[in-house]
Amino acid sequence: MAEERHEDFPAPGTGIIIIIFFVAFIMFYFLNWKWLSMVWNIG
């Protein structure tokens, strides 16, 4: 099944790069919320 899928998608390498990009994006985004939650409370 996985190989068939590769044939469908004209750019599997790009797919991998995009997934890495997206994971990096999500991680850095939520890491920043974590850092923010550690500072003094501001209301």
Partner 1 sequence: MPITSPETYWWKPADKEEKIWISVAIVWCLILFTMMPLWHFVGGQNPSVEPMKIRPDDFDKVTGAFIEKYKIGEESGIPVVKPPDGADVYLKGQMWNWIPILELKKGVNYKFHISSVDLMHGFSLQPMNMNFQIVPGHDNILNLTPTASGTYHIICNEFCGVGHHTMVGKIVVKD
Partner 2 sequence: MAANEMEFRTCPITGKKVYATTQNLMWINAVTAVVFILIGGIMALLVALTRLPAVHLLSPEWFYKALTAHGLNMLVFWIIFFEVAGLYFGSSVLLNSRLAAPKVAWLAYILMLVGSVLVDVMVFTDNATVMFSSYVPLQAHPLYYLGIILFAVGALTACGIFFGTLAIAKADKTYEGSLPLVTFGLSAAAIIAVFTLACGAIIYIPTFLWSLGVIKNLDPAMYRLIFWGFGHSSQQINVTAMVSIWYLLGALTVGAKPVNEKICRSAFVLYILFINLASEHHLLTDPTLSPAHKIWNTGYFMYMAVLASMIHALAIPMAVEVAQRKKGYTKGLFEWLTKAPWGEPGFPAMIFSLLIFGFIGGITGVVYGTEQLSIKSHNTWALTGHFHATVVGGTTLAFMGLTYYVIPLIFRREIIGKKWASAQPYVYAIGLILLILGMSGAGILGSPRRHWDVTFADSIIPFSFDPTVLLFTTIAALGGILAAVGGAMYVGVSVLSVFLGRKLAPNEAKLVY
| Interacting residues toward partner 1 by CB under 8 A | 8-11, 15, 18, 22, 25-26, 29, 33, 36-43
Choose among 28, 27, 2: nearest CA to 15.
Answer: 2
User: Taking the chain, what is the end-to-end CA distance rounded to the nearest angstrom?
Assistant: 53
Closest approach of Cβ 38 to partner 2, in Å?
Answer: 9
Smallest gap from Cβ 40 to partner 1, in A, equals 5
C-alpha of 14 from chain center: 14
From the CB of 8, what's the least distance to partner 2, in Å?
Answer: 13
Nearer to partner 1, 4 or 29 (CB): 29
Residue 38 is classified by DSSP as T
